[in-house]
Structure 1
């Protein structure tokens, strides 16, 4: 319950900030061009509001709604979420949106997207200023990478050190690495000290992300680094420095292979309602091999650990206040490029199933409070919100922008009746997507 509350609080805080900044972009451009904003609402408020006030001599009412699905500013003389068609029947007033030149209306509509993107760049910059950036370079992973069966069929080999995807240098083990590999035609690796080319077939990133074991992972040597006293490995006589050679007769070339075999053993035991399992392990110590029987504990653990990424040289980058901004801009732009590139998968069958709602969004926040992670996720969500809102769908900012561009080119406005119908169609599409996304969350939770 505590984990749920922590994640829910982070989600609400993040969404509140993003909505305020987004709607604030519309608000500030509207006021810049002397357009009246009748209401500024955080979250939606059908039927009633949780809180509202109107400052003295102000034209704008500020409110907090009860439905945390977004927010809105009600701009005078505009067909928006409020569907205030009665106002549109009245004579046009100089303070209304519809009375302003098309270029001013265009800036008002892109203001929210612009502010969300600028917010993301600012947050990324401040993250780099506060915490810097640290990672283990792929070239410093001297043991290379571990590849699953599919990757090995393509041509990769355990121990390969990844160098380039086409002509793009590969630097970090992260989501961008998988994206670059699946998009490439040729991946260059260092194998036994020699550069070798691996020719890639057409590979779907979504398929790669679902694979278990992972398509590519850091190769962890099959050497015991530590043993917990009184646990399975200790009781079997294994010690730090022992090399794992075979698991139930299956050769082991890495700790990854050991954990994969242990996972398969657990699945088989649980299928038989068994609370633990045993296996034969061949190990090597000082050049001598021996075979022991190992029994797992009730959680199918063995009480031993291997080396990890912390054993590699770490690259640490620090930034001053001013140098953090170009680095933050680069990080934000690269994040946007990656997200836009992944959007092509949404229109596939598997992509539609992968769409998530508030449960999925909430799950990306950490289960314990972590400001670095919180701000990273908020920046990422701000990028997503900016991109999604600029899509040319009626009811979104991008829909309004599309119609304004049409007006500029055709030199005539779409009729109010057309705009009303487009707004209703867009809202129907958005609610359908919202229902589908949260339905996927329910299915994933229960099934």
Structure 2
């Protein structure tokens, strides 16, 4: 069932984005009087379709893209017979270069608009919930495996990133931070100010959602939230709302302090000083093999909740949308320098895993908005067979006054299709490798 949910979300998200992208091409083509022969979500073989006017609308069996076939255009159909005939007034090639440019940008523009609209409404409807910089400076962080690997320590108070204040704990692992040149965190460690360098290529560590939980978290004071049935804590009389003041003579204020002390008492009895209301007493509780005494806790700090007016949401959502493009552009550039591993490139399996095994509409639209912006960026790359390749040749024509020959465009299209096929094989190969290695 979990696999079906992941696949279902991926197919729905891609169908929406591909459909809107191709609709952008279709509407702009028809606006300039071009004949659109086919509109397809998914690649052949065709599952279903219908004819409406001059255009056949269909759904293909391979749901990893789509296409619009415009008369008189060198595209993935490689319809050389049509291109050999005399140009007709309704054909793509008969229209002015500026009109053809708008048609080729139509899908990208729609994807950008879609991404912005999704982010704006997510910000407006849900606001933002996060642990703030002020809370981190007040309480400090818990440094987990990846945080410790670069020199962070539990209790550090992170003051800034690259000399600039940040807003929330998620900014610590943002693309802007991890992709920066000579990046660093400034921390207050027991009153001493230090700089902790962000190693080149550190972003490669964060190749899964689980990886982010191994970096840092916020320290928090706590109280007992749940007492496990049949546990040592229940037998000793621990109740919801109690506070643990010390373990084996070690004063504890933050939850990580209690966890750390209990790890040294596995399969032993711990002396627990408990506060219940105004009363304080001492209890002896056995510690299990997984360093627990049988309680779950409630943090005593609340994340910041910020809501936005619609005007503010437009600004914030637009900034978030274009932030995705900037980060991906930086990451692509750093692939060529070796700072970002090509292994981070994901195909459909990786995308499905990002959506997750449970259906959460906020997460679904967040990821769909992100993918919409990435699709716009990737489609703008100057690779033949992508929209960006067509844009590149059209700009050449507009600047030079000479259009590339149909033969050149056909060969460029073939080269582009080989490049795209190779990239797809590489991405799916990465997915398969990650699936078997768990990385």
1:382 aligns with 2:372: yes
Tell me by how many angstroms 1:21 deviates: 0.8
Q: How far apart are the structure 1 equivalents of 2:301 and 2:374?
A: 35
Tell me what 2:277 maps to. none
Alignment-derived partner of residue 34 in structure 1: 33
Give the CA RMSD over aligned residues: 3.4
2: distance between equivalents of 1:221 and 1:74? 61
Q: Could you say if the C-alpha distance between residues 135 and 390 of structure 1 is closer, same or farther in structure 2, counting changes exceeding 3 Å?
A: same
CA distance in structure 1 between the partners assigned to 2:402 and 2:7 by the alignment: 46
C-alpha change, 1:302 and 1:86, in structure 2 (3 Å) is farther
CA deviations 1:361-398 (Å, max 9, x no partner) are 11122433222111111101101111111111111111
Give 3-state SS (helix, strand or coil) of 1:364's partner.
Answer: helix
User: For structure 2, which runs of at least 5 residues remain unmatched after alignment?
Assistant: 275-279
Local SS of the residue matching 1:169: coil
Instruction: Tell me the SS of whatever aligns to 2:206.
Output: helix
Aligned match of 1:160: 156
Q: Note the C-alpha offset of 1:199.
A: 4.9
Matched residue, 1:105: 100
Q: Do 1:123 and 1:376's aligned partners in 2 also have CA atoms closer than 8 Å?
A: yes
Q: Residue in 2 aligned with 1:271? A: none
Q: Report what 1:89 is aligned to.
A: 84
Residues 282-324 of structure 1 deviation map (CA, whole Å, 9 limit, x = unaligned): 5552699998652248xx865322344x72352322323x443
Match of 1:338 among 327, 331, 338: 327
| Equivalent of 1:306 in 297, 300, 304 | 297
SS at structure 2 position matched to 1:43: strand
Matched, 1:121 2:116: yes
The answer on 1:361 being equivalent to 2:351 is yes
Q: 1:73 aligned to 68, 90, 112, which one?
A: 68
Seen in structure 2, the aligned counterparts of structure 1 residues 387 and 252 have a Cα distance that, compared at 3 Å, is: farther
Q: What is the aligned partner in structure 1 of residue 201 from structure 2? A: 204
Query: Is the 1:154–1:201 Cα contact (8 Å) retained in structure 2?
Result: yes
Deviations 1:56-107, CA, capped at 9 Å, x for gaps: xx22111111110100000111111111111110111111111122221111
Aligned residues, how many? 423
Give CA deviations for 1:124-173 in whole Å, capped at 9, x if unaligned: 11222222222221212431112247755755442233232234321112
In structure 2, relative to structure 1, the CA distance for the partners of 1:378 and 1:181 (3 Å cut) is: closer
State which of 135, 139, 144 in structure 2 corresponds to 1:143. Answer: 139
Residues 199-229 of structure 1: per-residue CA shift (max 9 Å, x gap):
5264323344266973322224587654323
Residue 227 (structure 1) aligns with = 227
Shift of 1:234: 4.2
Q: TM-score, normalised by structure 2?
A: 0.84
What are the Cα deviations for residues 316-360 of structure 1, in whole angstroms up to 9, with x where unaligned? 22323x443222212212222223223345444972222222111
TM-score (norm 1): 0.82
C-alpha distance 387-280 of structure 1, shift in aligned 2 (>3 A): farther
SS at match of 2:73: coil
CA offset at residue 177 of structure 1? 3.8
1:405 matched to 2:400? The reply is no
Which runs of 5 or more structure 1 residues have no equivalent in the other structure?
266-276
